[in-house]
Amino acid sequence: MTGIDIIGDIHGHATELHGLLKAMDYTEINGVYQHPERSVIFLGDFIDRGDEQLEVLRVVSAMCINGHARAIMGNHEFNAIGWYMSDGQGGFLRPHTDDNRNQHSKFLKEIVAGSTMHEATIQWFKSLPILLNLPSIRAVHACWHMPSLKTLAPYLNDDATFTNSGIIAAFQKGTAEYEAAEVLLKGPERELPHNLEFQDKGDKWRKHARIRWWDKSTTELRDLVIGLEGAEQLLPSAELDISEYHYHEEAPVFFGHYWLDGIPRIEAENAVCLDYSVAKGGHLVAYRWNENIPLLPSFFMAIPSISL
């Protein structure tokens, strides 16, 4: 393979996924998309929100099984595992609260909760690594952070998949393992000052905001928080030191998760976000990476959302 196409968060939008793969000259042969010279890396978050989740999983898993793609775990796959797995105390690793159920409801309805297919899908989610560290390229769902990876290392297999005990450890709030999984799969967050709250794109009220960990150009709080839908202007002018999360490696890192909008852009010299809010009327986005060619805006490919 001479190139890799990295695809951001899909969230059950199979129609757009079919369109994106075809636009990149992948051909579906016997139900498996393939390209004579290229392969795909999927950045996770295949499920929740959209109405075609099983078709997304079929397309992605078929490409992976047949050697035409690799996929990593997103926070929605991680949450799905926690929803399914017992905590050993009569409950589940991810509590079955109303908020969690609402977020996961479309998946549970389509997969048929508790079915054989549900069990098999959870097993496939468990087989997904939390990141890919390749010689010339890196991929993670939310944040590349080596201290967090080192914390989780005892709970990961050689291929960066969770051990069963690792999954359990990563769901134990208040532990170093929980915080490490949060950073890698959901990104670092900061508490907002003055009890400020905002409603995120999932319509959930939050007091903590995600931060643009890849942005080395500023230390201004207003510029570093993300997802506040304009409420960042209500924040006081303040310094925010996020240098511990800055990425300094030569190999570019690709990630999703952050609900960006507008025209796909290179966010930093060696870091590219590929989540452009397909589940909220945005675009499904890919970057067509080629070794020894610098990151350029012309290598983005975007398909507009067809339905919410």
Q: Mean per-residue pLDDT for 136-143?
A: 97
Q: Mean per-residue pLDDT for 208-212?
A: 88
3-21 pLDDT, tens digit each: 999 999 999 999 999 999 9
* Predicted confidence (pLDDT) at residue 201 exceeds the cutoff of 70: no
98-121 pLDDT, tens digit each: 999 999 999 999 999 999 999 999
106 to each of 45, 86, 153, 301, 303, how far by Cα in Å?
A: 14, 21, 33, 28, 23
Residue type, 59: V
Residue type, 194: H
Which residues is 40 bridged to in the sheet? 5, 69
Tokens 């899909």: give the residue.
10
Q: What is the pLDDT of residue 197?
A: 65
Q: What is the pLDDT of residue 221?
A: 87
146-197 pLDDT, tens digit each: 999 999 999 999 999 999 999 999 999 999 999 999 999 999 998 877 666 6
3-150+248-304 adopts what CATH topology?
Purple Acid Phosphatase; chain A, domain 2 (3.60.21)
Q: What is the pLDDT of residue 190?
A: 84
- Cβ(207)–Cβ(196) below 8 Å: yes
Q: What is the pLDDT of residue 203?
A: 64
* Predicted confidence (pLDDT) at residue 283 exceeds the cutoff of 80: yes
224-240 pLDDT, tens digit each: 988 877 777 777 788 88
Q: What is the pLDDT of residue 255?
A: 98
β-pairing verdict for 253-255 and 138-140: parallel
Q: Mean per-residue pLDDT for 189-218?
A: 77
- Cβ(276)–Cβ(261) below 8 Å: yes
Tokens 């150009």: give the residue.
217
Domain locations in the chain as residue ranges: 3-150+248-304, 189-241
β-pairing verdict for 69-71 and 38-42: parallel
pTM score: 0.94
The CA distance from 246 to 25, in Å, is: 35
Mark out the alpha helices in 139-296 (DSSP H runs).
146-152, 164-170, 176-186, 221-224
Q: What is the pLDDT of residue 307?
A: 66
Which region holds residue 188: left if phi is over 0, alpha if psi is between -120 and 50, else beta?
beta
The CA distance from 47 to 283, in Å, is: 16
82-104 pLDDT, tens digit each: 999 999 999 999 999 999 999 99
Q: What is the pLDDT of residue 124?
A: 98
- Cβ(4)–Cβ(40) below 8 Å: yes
Q: What is the pLDDT of residue 192?
A: 77
Q: Give every CB contact of residue 284 below 8 A, 6+ residues apart in sequence.
A: 7, 8, 10, 13, 16, 17, 19, 20, 276, 278, 302, 303, 305
226-276 pLDDT, tens digit each: 887 777 777 778 888 899 999 999 999 999 999 999 999 998 989 999 999
- What confidence tier does 1 reach under pLDDT thresholds 50, 70, 90? low
